Each structure stands twice: as C-alpha cells, then as structure tokens.
Chain A
Amino acid sequence: MKRRGFLTLAGRSIMVVLAATLPFGFARLMSPNVSADVRWRLRPPGALKDDDAFISACIGCGLCGEVCPPKCIQFYTHEGAKKVNTPYIDPAQKACILCDKCMEVCPTESLTVIPKKEIDMGIAQIDQSACYPWVDQGVCGACVVVCPLGERAIGFDFANFYKPVVRDGCVGCGQCVEVCPHPSLPIWIVERGSGTVAKHGAGKRHQWIR
C-alpha cells in the first residue's frame, strides 16, 4: 500500500508539473520554427554578435522598434520559435539609418551603444553578374550615393564612375539594398566573414584588427 501511495503521489506531481508547462507549450506552439529566409533579416545595429546570446538578452519589449525613426526595425511576431518577439531589420523593405537611437534605448545587453565604425550588421556584397553598370546595362551608382558612410564603405571601381565596389568600412546598414533599382537585388548584406570583400582579404584583415 505504501508503494501505491508513493506512486500516485509521484504521478500526481508529474501531472501538476506538466500542467504548469502548458502555458509555455501553448505559446511555443503559436510561434513555430518557420520563418522567411533569415539571410533577409539582420539584427539591429549594436546587437550582440552571437545570436543565441542576443536571444537570451532580449526581453521582447519592443522599445528598439518604437524609437526607430524610419521604422525599419520589425519583430518576429508569430514565428521563429525562441526568436519570437526579437527585432530584425529587413533592408529590402526599409534600411537602418544608423541613428543609434535603438542602441541608446535598449534596457538590456542585447543592443549596446558602440561607435558607428564598429557597428557590424554584416557587409554588403555586390553580384557583379547582375548589377546594371557591372553588366554594362547603363549608369547607376545609387548605392554609392546613398551610403551614409561614404568613401570608406563603398566606392567606384578604379577609373570607372559607375561600377560600385564595397570596401571594408561597410557596416551593413543596408541603405544600398533598399535603394538598389535592380529587381533581383544584386547587392545584399552578408556576414562579414563570408562576403567577397572578406575573401579578397580586406575584410578579413579588418576582423583581425578588431
């Protein structure tokens, strides 16, 4: 009889504990781990580099989005499993203007104030087989004109006024992505280590220096 009493007690307590996990399971069910291509989603400037650390630091208060002047910061509202309620920037819709407001307002460690040059949302990469000037389909240079960081981030190829080339001062704000007129978006933000700039050596050196 004693064993039976113990077993029913153990069974009941397991049931109670499982019942207490139900709200969390319910919330998890409603934010399934499916999302659009994450390549399209950059973390806001000043974010912790390690995305797991970012997720554990972010409390999902939405303050960064609420101060963003161009309203570029959006949120995983009902997808992405544990990414849910964390912010992202989709530069094809609206790109970051590097105003630093989100970094200043964030109460947690997830976004911390850092100098503009050290922001690292990624690095722009140009598909030279699609970009209009690179395939000799016309003159453009929109990305170079719009870049908030100027010469050190993006410029023209040597002795050419139209073919854009990304330099290692690029912080990945994505203004060039937003402005690019080509429908297939030949310019895109990639992780700093994997861009062509990095492959050519400049970006890699930049990383070592930091």
Chain B
Amino acid sequence: MIRHLNKLRWVVLTIVFLMLIALPFIHLYQTYLAAHAYDLLAPAEKQVYDVMEMLTDPFVSDPEHDLDAIKGNTWSGTFFGFRLSDPLAVVSQSAAGLSLYWPFILTGLIPLVLTLLFGRFYCGWICPATFLYELNSNLAILLHKLGLHTGNRHLDLRFKYLVLAIGLILSAVTGAVLTATVYPPAIIGREIYYGVALSGYSHVVIGGFGAGAVFFISTLLFDLFVSRRGFCRYLCPGGALYSLLGHFRLFRIQRVVEDCNDCAKCNAVCEFGLDPLRDGFGMECNNCTACIAVCPTDALKFSVTIKDQAFMGPGHLGKAYKRSQESKVEAVKEQGKQT
C-alpha cells in the first residue's frame, strides 16, 4: 500500500499545479460574470467564459460568489474559509516589517504544524515548482542519454541556510519581502496569475509574465547544467526554513535493515541526492516516497521517531552481509575445531 504513495504524490502535485492554472481563469470568468455583459466580450473571452462555465457548473450554483471559496496560491491563499500562508511568507514579512501582525502569523500555523510533523513534505508533495523541477530532472536524464553534458555538481547543503539568513536580513534592511522574489513556488503562483489574467492589458507595456518567470527559468537551467535539483538543495530559502523546522519531524522514512538487499536503487532515485542505503536521510528528506516506490524488497518504511537511526550496516539480504555472516560462521566453526 505504502508503495503507491509516490503515485498519490504525483496526483497531488498535478492537482496543485492545475489548480494554479485554473484559478486565474476562474477569476477571469468571475470578472465576466460580474460585468453582466456576455455579448460585449471578445471571441477569445467568450471561449474562456464558456469553458469555465462548463467546468465549474457542476460544483457551484452561484459562480460569481461561490468560486471565491478557493483563491490565491501556495504562497498565501484562502481555502474554504481557511487562510493559509507559507511559513516563509510569515517569517520574511515579520522581518521586513520588523513587527508581528498576529492575524497574518496565525495563517501560517497549520502549515507550520504540518511541517513540524512531516519535515520538508511541502517540497515534495505540494510545491508547484517541484512539479516542474522533477520534470526538469527527467529532461536532464533524457539530455544525458542524447549525449549532452548535464551538470551534477555537489555544493554545500548548508548554503541555503545562509541564503535564508541573508534574505531575512536584506528584507529587514530594505523593508520589502525580498524572499518572495527568489522563492520558486511563490514565483510560479503569481506568474501564472500575471500571465493569464493580466495579459488582457496588452495595449500597455505592463502585463503578462513578469521578472519572476525569468528567474524561475534561470533556476531550471541551473538545475539542468550545474546541479541536479540544485536550487532546492542548495539555494531555496523556503527549503532551508522547512529543513530547520523539520529537524525533529515525527514521521520519517527509515530503512529496515533486515529487508534491505543493498541494491542502491533508492540512492539512484532520490531527487535530493540523499543516501537511504546508508541510513543517511537527515533534515533534507522531503518524504517524497520515491525511494519507497522503487525499493524491490520493501525495506523502506515510515516510522514515528524524532531521530534518524544510525547506520545499521549492510542490508541483511545483500551479498556483503551474507559474506560477513558466512565468514563469521566459518570463524565459529574454526574456533570449535580448535577447542
């Protein structure tokens, strides 16, 4: 059962991403409804109206107001009356304003509790950038097969904490929420909105995609040609915050050494370059369950503990372990002969 969590994760990621694309169109539809002037819409706008009407009709009776139930993006949004904000948004806004605004801080509470329980789960399960970054690493594999050079450099994992600290310091100094400009999920949520909804003002210079789109594309290129999933692992300020919060997370993936056969497929598949084979999960693990899905002997399981287990030695189904056992047995036999 647990093996299928990775498929569930992809379903969740896809739903979140599709929602981010749908919400700007839903907003357009609502503006057309509010205008009460279907006949005055341009042909393309009529098309948007018709499609959105078809899609939302089964779920709402009064679309102009009922569709307000889900608004926003993963940076901050309302979800059936619940206001949810990214903990990074809360932290960096508090730094930028040098003050605590409790109504806003409370919106970050539910994600914060979930992060304390599940660690970096946001990075693996929800983040709309992860959806594109994982497709991007598949593209890297494809390019590699085609013979192009893709980068897989290793930097220091602690670098992102420095990025987070400097982001907060710069936010406090300049008085603007600067982390929002370099945090991919925030960028994607708002850029999709800009691209879809603001492009109607095409007769002006502004409108359409903004600076964030360029930044995000450059991070994709960084991942392709410098380091696989490098942005998430070494640069992302949000990832840094979640890693810190998830240091004592309750639910973590652990290796069951008795079932492990040392095949190392988990290490190969781990997007974050961790070392499940040698029990090296640490703060970086985002509970994405890709290693669980790939494990041929079901040796990776969720366990409820606040600390990773130490390296348990080679897997008991593996050759190294069997050899060591045989040599032990022989040693015992030899000892028996001698006495």
Contact = CB atoms under 8 A, between A and B. Distances in A.
Q: Do A and B bind each other?
A: yes
B182 interface: yes
Contacts of B204: 93
Contacts, number: 172
Given A24-B182, A107-B83, A62 B104 contact: no
A55 B175 contact: yes
Contacts of A74: 198, 201, 206-207
A150 to B, nearest CB: 21
Contacts of B201: 74, 93
Contacts of A26: 182, 215, 218
A207 interface: no
B75 interface: yes
A109 B101 contact: yes
A200 to B, nearest CB: 34
Given A65-B197, A82-B175, 11 more contacts: A17-B166, A27-B211, A56-B93, A57-B97, A58-B177, A68-B31, A70-B31, A84-B181, A85-B212, A93-B201, A108-B93
Given A85-B181, A93-B204, A21 B176 contact: no
A35 to B, nearest CB: 9
Majority SS at the chain B contact face: helix
A193 B167 CA distance: 36
Interface string B71-87: 11101111000010100
A75 to B, nearest CB: 7
Contacts of B96: 56-57
Given A30-B214, A70-B34, A23 B163 contact: yes
B178 A27 contact: yes
Contacts of B166: 17, 20-21, 24
Nearest to A19: B159
A61 interface: yes
Ranked nearest first, the 4 interchain pairs of A and B with the lowest CB-CB distance are A77-B210, A82-B176, A30-B211, A61-B76
B200 interface: yes
Contacts of A79: 206
Contacts of A19: 159
Given A17-B162, A63-B71, A63-B77, A69 B210 contact: no
A107 B85 contact: yes
A71 interface: yes
B211 A77 contact: yes
B30 interface: yes
Interface string B183-214: 00010011001100110110011111111101
A71 B197 contact: yes
Interface of A: 16-17, 19-21, 23-24, 26-28, 30-31, 36, 52-53, 55-63, 65-71, 74-79, 82-85, 93, 101, 105, 107-109
Contact size range, B = 35 or more
Interface of B: 23-24, 27-28, 30-31, 34-35, 64, 68, 71-73, 75-78, 83, 85, 89, 92-93, 96-98, 101, 103-104, 107, 159, 162-163, 165-167, 170, 174-178, 180-182, 186, 189-190, 193-194, 197-198, 200-201, 204-212, 214-215, 218, 235
A143 B6 CA distance: 59
16 contacts: A23-B215, A55-B175, A57-B93, A59-B92, A60-B177, A63-B72, A66-B24, A67-B27, A69-B31, A70-B31, A71-B27, A75-B210, A77-B211, A105-B78, A107-B83, A108-B93
Contact of B200 (A52, A59, A66, A71): A71
